[in-house]
């Protein structure tokens, strides 16, 4: 494409005002290692942190309670003189607590189990705290019946509900490895986070199953699921090249399971290629019980009981032959295995690093399997959902204020987060964008990451300064509303000698302007694109002078949909 000479003419007062208002704050914020602490109070890792859990559970024959449970937590001491380990724990009955095998004093109240250590601990010391307990959890495990009317028990922990059945430090930054040992009625099947180590022979009416997850995962991803599942393993050639994958469904759905989960293997394949090899040993897709449509527990994704039910009027994916919403959901939850599970947000304000990535990568699965048109339709739909939401609430993606953590599951974190990634991809180019994403992933694999970590990784990959972009798109609210107008200055009386297009791009949103470069196409009366250019806003309003051979008929703003926006186009004004 020919290089276009564009002479910008910017109204200085708007640009100068923006710089005076924005850049001092940016300099202060970005001199810090991470953004300013959240006003929302979060559970902090201070005096200790968990590094490993051994969880033993025994269910009764109707899966209505834990008849016996014990969690052994390996704790790393972070400061000298630690005297109490304050575990998050619900209201189950505590039978005994030990530290290093010796009985310990404890206090259970206010959602905490405060365990007194026999002596002040030293920094770096490892302690093993054991808690024995029993009862019916009030939350965190859903004890119900499946679609076939059989009892079932399914862990469902997001955002901070695992402590209702596992004593823990219940915050996503407290990642740890976990082993599960689950005893349940012998005619039921058990699945849990991790790789199955052994299914012990039945002892009378019960059987014990053991699982091991060797990589640290966030506590909300530690689950067990017990039920009369049918297990199906795909046998296609692609399945032989990928990690172990299987589907667990109620028996009545066994005939439709493999087709319904048809997007599972391609999702693994696409994300393996785009990011890195699958971070765990195996992956189960489980039709169980969750308060969400799907929950991305590490190695054991759980879907709502009605997920495979057909929904009238829903579009069908031509590639997979099932409803498109099912394809997108499966891809979304699979993407979480990389983003959210393996690389986990450091704070709740960083939740878009989980949900925005999963939403965007579900779109990438659509792009890779169904083509560009389907991908653009997907992104347009996500953009419309966000724009509708913003009419009811304006807040930044990086939300430090929302107290109800479930309130963070909104189109800011999902749809707008996905669009921020999409705009970055289009602005930086595929090579730099995916190079940065892969570097970000490798640097924080099986650990935690912040929004600033992502920014720095993309900056290194692209050699671009993205502080202003993140300040406006992530740390501030809103989206650009463009108003484009133009007039034609003909050379000579007849206009046959061409002329100059005076193109004005204004931003009409109430808050500060976005300085993101805006692609523009200039179209003649035949519908032919005669010039492509990029306008680089420097304030509320930017004039650009474009010499052309003839008067244009139409101006297209961001024709490839690379920016989350609204556009109002005015008719061409009379010749000047």
Best CA proximity match to 285, nearest among 342, 234, 340: 234
| Contact partners, residue 277, CB within 8 Å, separation at least 6 | none
Q: Name the average pLDDT for the chain.
A: 92
The pLDDT value recorded for residue 2 is: 28
The pLDDT value recorded for residue 495 is: 54
The pTM score is: 0.91
Q: How confident is the model at residue 527 (pLDDT cuts 50, 70, 90)?
A: very high
Provide the β-strand partners of residue 482.
Answer: 507, 567
Spatial separation of the C-alpha atoms in residues 400 and 348, rounded to whole Å: 8
pLDDT digits (tens, 9 = 90+) for 51-93: 999 999 999 999 999 999 999 999 999 999 999 999 999 999 9
pLDDT digits (tens, 9 = 90+) for 193-244: 999 998 888 888 999 999 999 999 999 999 999 999 999 999 888 888 888 9
Q: What angle do CA 251, 161, 135 make, to 5 degrees?
A: 75
Distance from first CA to last CA of the chain, Å, rounded? Answer: 30
Helix (H, G, I), strand (E, B) or coil at 168: strand
Handedness of CA 35, 39, 42, 46 (dihedral sign): positive
């Amino acid at each position: 494409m020919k290089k276009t000479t564009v002479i910008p003419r910017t109204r200085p007062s708007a640009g100068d005002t923006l710089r005076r208002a924005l850049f001092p704050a940016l300099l202060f914020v970005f001199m810090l290692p991470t953004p300013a602490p959240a006003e929302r109070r979060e559970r902090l890792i201070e005096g200790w942190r968990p590094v490993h859990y051994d969880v033993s559970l025994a269910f009764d024959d109707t899966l209505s309670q834990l008849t016996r449970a014990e969690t052994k937590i390996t704790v790393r001491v972070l400061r000298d003189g630690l005297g109490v380990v304050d575990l998050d724990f619900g209201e189950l009955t505590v039978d005994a607590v030990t530290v290093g095998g010796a009985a310990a004093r404890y206090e259970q109240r206010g959602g905490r189990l405060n365990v007194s250590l026999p002596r002040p601990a030293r920094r770096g010391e490892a302690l093993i705290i054991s808690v024995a307990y029993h009862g019916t959890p009030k939350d965190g495990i859903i004890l119900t019946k499946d679609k076939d009317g059989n009892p079932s028990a399914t862990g469902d922990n997001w955002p901070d509900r695992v402590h209702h059945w596992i004593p823990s430090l219940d915050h996503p930054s407290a990642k740890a490895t976990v082993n599960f040992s689950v005893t349940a009625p012998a005619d039921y099947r058990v699945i849990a986070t991790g790789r199955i180590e052994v299914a012990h022979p039945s002892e009378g009416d019960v059987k014990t199953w053991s699982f091991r997850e060797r990589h640290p995962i966030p506590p909300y991803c530690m689950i067990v699921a017990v039920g009369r599942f049918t297990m199906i393993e795909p046998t296609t050639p692609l399945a032989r090249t990928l990690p172990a994958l299987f589907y667990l469904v109620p028996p009545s759905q066994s005939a439709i399971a493999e087709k319904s989960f048809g997007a599972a293997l391609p999702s693994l394949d696409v994300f393996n290629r785009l990011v890195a090899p699958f971070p765990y040993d195996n992956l189960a897709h489980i039709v169980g019980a969750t308060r969400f449509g799907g929950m991305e527990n590490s190695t054991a994704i759980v879907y709502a009981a009605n997920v495979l039910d057909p929904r009238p009027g829903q579009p069908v994916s031509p590639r997979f032959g099932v409803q498109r919403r099912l394809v997108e959901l499966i891809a979304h939850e699979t993407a979480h295995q990389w983003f959210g599970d393996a690389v986990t947000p450091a704070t709740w304000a960083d939740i878009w690093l989980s949900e925005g990535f999963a939403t965007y990568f579900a779109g990438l699965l659509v792009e890779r399997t169904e083509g560009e048109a389907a991908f653009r339709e997907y992104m347009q739909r996500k953009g419309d959902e966000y724009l509708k939401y913003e009419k009811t609430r304006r807040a930044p993606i990086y939300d430090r204020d929302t107290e109800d953590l479930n309130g963070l599951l909104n189109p800011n974190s999902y749809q707008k987060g996905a669009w921020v990634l999409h705009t970055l991809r289009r602005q930086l180019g595929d090579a730099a964008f995916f190079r940065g994403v892969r570097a970000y992933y490798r640097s924080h694999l099986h650990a935690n990451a912040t929004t600033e970590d992502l920014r720095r990784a993309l900056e290194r990959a692209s050699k671009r300064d993205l502080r202003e972009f993140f300040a406006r798109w992530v740390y501030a609210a809103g989206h650009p509303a463009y108003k484009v107008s133009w007039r034609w200055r003909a050379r000579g009386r007849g206009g046959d000698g061409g002329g100059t297009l005076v193109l004005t791009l204004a931003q009409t949103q109430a808050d500060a302007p976005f300085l993101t470069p805006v692609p523009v196409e200039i179209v003649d009366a035949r519908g032919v694109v005669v010039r492509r250019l990029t306008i680089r806003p420097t304030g509320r309003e930017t004039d650009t002078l474009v010499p052309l051979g003839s008067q244009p008929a139409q101006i297209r703003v961001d024709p490839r949909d690379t920016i989350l926006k609204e556009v109002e186009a005015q008719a061409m004004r009379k010749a000047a």
